[in-house]
A and B are shown apart, each in its own frame.
Chain A
Amino acid sequence: MASKRPEHQGPPDIFYNEEEARKYSQNTHIIDVQTKLSERAIELLNLPDEESCLVLDIGCGSGLSGEVLSELGHQWVGLDISSAMLDVAQEREVEGDLVLGDIGYGMPFRAGSFDGAISISALQWLCQADKSYHNPVKRLYKFFSTLYGCLARGARAVFQFYPETPHQVDMITQQAMKAGFTGGLVVDYPNSTRAKKMFLCLFAGGQVQQLPTGLTGEEGSERVPTQARFDKERNRYKNLRGKSLKKSRTWIMEKKERSRNKGRYDINRGKEIYLLHWIRS
């Protein structure tokens, strides 16, 4: 599993080449997952209602998360290190402005520019040292401190990410706190391996804010993973291979038919004999 992680296969600017970028924006499953994650992240961002805000999308890729922002009426600026991904975003004619840059070198934006920042599945890339002079801890600190600067006071930054080890989570949150952020980790569906999602929810100054609670799947929302329950039923049917479901009406009729064909005994005969006895007595 660990070897399948894309961040182990190469630096992001090389891994997301043209082929990978195209794959990323044509695969409907990926699009679906990314859109759901973005919707949740924006929900956690808690932007003021009915207001059009300027949002920074860190690691915007082909602009899937940006499209969700546009739909909600926000303006956005996307930053990514992969020019192939940005080209795809440009081809898709996303509404946001795109910037090519490495988040480990800091955010190239003026202080207080953004009402919020989101980042979908990008933060784990910063934990890798892709070049000999890369130091993940320093890069994280540089990233968080410059991000703190370019956010408006009281703005939030929400990162959905796939940490590899608990140590990585510690490293990331430590650097974020050091940069002045408050906040913490929001975990959706903590008891599910597949649906579990981590959101690092950071507040840049302002009033003390309550950390939102993670979804547990018990709120009766549509997000509840029902996959496991369906699997069982599907298997029951899958193993039948054309036979009827056991103990069902058709199954009994078929069994009777088979017995009759074999000439073992007449099934209906028994009933008739019983009836005769009953009439005679």
Chain B
Amino acid sequence: MLTSNILKGVTRGFPLKIKADKVENVSVDYNRDFITRIIPRIEYDALRAAVNDLGLNESLPETMPEAVQQDDEFLKTMHKVLLEYEIEEGELICPETGRKFPISKGIPNMLLQETEVS
């Protein structure tokens, strides 16, 4: 999920819309420092949209809390959403061109055809 938030089409759009056929839950050690470090770089709206699209049962507040550093519960949810959900099979869809990037075995395929490279 973290990767999906920073992936974008090479020349085009962000965020890529996620269509998941199979989502897996992995457990990752909670690392508070990393989460606080990474949060400023996350496009929060895109993340919320992704959580909605996937129908994940996680409650992310509408806007990011003011005092992120102290809000342990929010940090834990972010950790879970960003690192513990893995999309095994599915697609990433470019919002502008509709180009689909397939995800298989958890690896998104971002390879392009020559004609798509400007």
Q: Which residue on B lies nearest to A115, using beta carbons? A: B37
Within A86-128, which residues are at the interface with B (CB < 8 Å)? 86-87, 90, 95, 97-102, 105-110, 112-113
Question: Are the C-beta atoms of B37 and A52 separated by less than 8 Å?
Answer: yes
Chain A residue with minimal CB distance to B82? A75
A51 interface residue (CB < 8 Å to B): yes
B108 at the interface (CB under 8 A from A): yes
Residue of A nearest to B14 (CB): A110
Given A51-B33, A100-B111, A101-B111, the answer on whether A108 and B7 have CB atoms closer than 8 Å is yes
Q: Is the CB of A106 within 8 A of B111?
A: no
Among B14, B43, B112, point to the contact of A105 (Cβ < 8 A). Answer: B112
Nearest-neighbor residue (CB-CB) of A90 within chain B: B105
Known: A52-B31, A105-B117. A97 touches B8 (CB 8 A): no
Give the docked Cα–Cα distance between A146 and B11 (Å). Answer: 9
Bound Cα distance A133, B106 (Å): 30
Whether A109 touches B6, Cβ cut-off 8 Å, given contacts A100-B107, A101-B111, A131-B114, is yes
C-alpha gap A87/B106 in the complex (Å): 10
Tell me if B10 counts as interface (CB < 8 A to partner A). yes
* Contact A86–B6 (Cβ < 8 Å): no
Say whether A169 faces chain B, with CB atoms less than 8 Å apart: no
Please, how many angstroms separate the alpha-carbon atoms of A112 and B7 in the complex?
Answer: 12
Whole-angstrom distance between the alpha carbons of A97 and B110 in the complex?
13
Please provide the chain A residues from 53 to 93 with a CB less than 8 Å away from any CB of chain B in the complex.
53-54, 73, 75, 77, 81, 83, 86-87, 90
Interface flag for B9 (CB, 8 Å) = yes
Complex CA distance for A101 and B110, rounded to whole angstroms = 5
CB-based contact A99/B107 at 8 Å: yes
Please tell me which one of the listed residues B9, B28, B34, B110 contacts residue A99 in the complex, with CB atoms under 8 A apart. B110
Chain A's nearest CB lies how many Å from the CB of B42?
Answer: 10
Chain B residues in 8 Å Cβ range of A75 = 2, 34, 38, 83
| Distance in angstroms between the alpha carbons of A101 and B43 in the assembled complex | 23
User: What is the CB-to-nearest-CB distance from A126 to chain B, in angstroms, rounded to a whole number?
Assistant: 15
Given contacts A97-B3, A99-B3, A110-B43, 12 further A-B contacts (CB under 8 A): A75-B34, A77-B2, A77-B3, A100-B110, A101-B111, A102-B111, A105-B117, A106-B10, A108-B8, A110-B14, A113-B6, A133-B114
Listed A/B pairs (20) with beta-carbon separation below 8 Å: A51-B33, A52-B34, A53-B34, A54-B34, A77-B6, A83-B109, A90-B107, A97-B106, A98-B107, A99-B3, A99-B108, A99-B110, A100-B109, A101-B110, A102-B112, A109-B8, A110-B5, A110-B6, A113-B6, A146-B10
Tell me the B residues contacting A by CB distance below 8 Å. 2-3, 5-11, 14, 28, 31, 33-34, 37-38, 41, 43, 83, 105-112, 114, 117
A residues at B contact (CB < 8 Å) = 51-54, 73, 75, 77, 81, 83, 86-87, 90, 95, 97-102, 105-110, 112-113, 131, 133, 146, 150, 152
